[in-house]
Structure 1
Amino acid sequence: MSLWLKWAPVLLLVLGSGCASQYRLVQTSELETVQECAMASDHNHRVLLSQQQELARGLDELLSELEQTRAQIPAPAPTESALQCPDVPYVEPSTDDDLAAQLVDQGAKQVVGSVEQVRFDDLGLESQVRIDTGISNAILPAKNIQPFERNGEDWVRFVFVSREGDEREVERKLTREVSLAGSDKQRPVVRLRFTLGRLTQFAEFTLTERKSASADIRLGRLALRDVMVVDVSSEFLAPLRSAEGDAP
């Protein structure tokens, strides 16, 4: 018993030292792991920051190149649509003296009424037509409209019917096709030469099916162009010149 009591303090000291060393080793290992994670996170953060800075520099360079390229591109020249409809002036209802004064003011422009007699020179026919400034192209009601091909080109055959009932079969090269307001159906367009008053010119006519004998041929704004003035309160203001005086 005396021997046990003699060595007991020494044994307790040794056992206590072993436990303390083991506890310190565990805590140190965990601390090293945390430090390694922190170092890795800091490294990743620095890499991401460097990549973001590189992307920002690349974006600035790209924007600068775009600005330089835009400055070198010339501005497009202004173009005017070939189908732009010119404004057709109206002549207010007037007396004969006022109309004569307006003719002087308008110079070479032809004053026309809401209804006129027109000669279709290539067809050798005359017809009464209605002047309609509410539409762009001229409209020609016709019979037996038949598209066909000639020498690889699109043509159209139709029967021209004047307001007076005279008929003439006509073949013309197809200019284009259009759809009228309120309809999805494509209508053929042809060019015809006509004389109104003292003026002779070409115009595009949209062909429609003639459904009644009272269907009017109508001249729109493009047919009038800027050489005619419309007096909507009058009719037959532009008598036809003789056929012998027509231009070839």
Structure 2
Amino acid sequence: MSNLSAIFKNHKAFIPFVVADDPDFDTTVANIVALAEGGADIVEVGIPFSDPIADGGVIQAADLRAFDAGVRTKTVFEIVEAARKQTDVPIVFLTYLNIVFKYGYDAFCKKCQALGVSGLVIPDMPYESRDDIVPTADKYGIDIIPLIAPTSGHRVEKIAKAASGFIYVVSSLGITGERNEFFNGLKDLVAEIKSYTDVPTAIGFGVHTPEQAKTMAEIADGVIIGSAIVDIVAKQKQNAPEAVKEFTHSIRSAVDQAETKEASV
């Protein structure tokens, strides 16, 4: 069991997401700390990319703000290094494959290990390409976290059986962004995944309210929220950390309610 998987043991996990260097370096560091203090189990940090194919308008706009702030991959590592002076919350990166490839798989994973970054979510890396990076990631104790979507079909089994850390279950068709309707077969999809592996599942894409978080936590082992938090940052800018912390508290409470309900069944 990896360090990330252990977080889910007898506990429903909340995994919030922020974009690195949006709106600036210091605010991102403060947002990571605020998420940890608000009750996040894992913080997902997005590395800005010019063509984020899995992301909707809210996160795309955050990427552009980060580029305006002068973000580089080096900047993202420096943000985590600064955050590590205030929190030891587990961190994973959401990144696109070209960023890691350009930096160098070995150098990137080695840097992640040094900063306590436990995993990578790489939306544009198909299962068939995972062997290009997994041996290097394993060398440094980094989990490559796969995504399984409603469209994964017959590939669910092999993706699940090869997974480590946790499995990112995509809640619906399409890209990230707040939504009120989700794939109606989520329960069955999670059940299928669990028939192949003991690696925990966390549902993301579109979840943005405490009520939705509670529902998703009742289905899976954890919940991922991105666009709702990125939207708070967009509106509050340098004042975001307090609002981010308050929002995280509300989601943490909802996820805990799902845990309590499950324990009583």
Report the TM-score, using the length of structure 2 for normalisation.
0.21
The structure where strand makes up a greater share of residues is 1
Q: Which has the larger radius of gyration?
A: 1
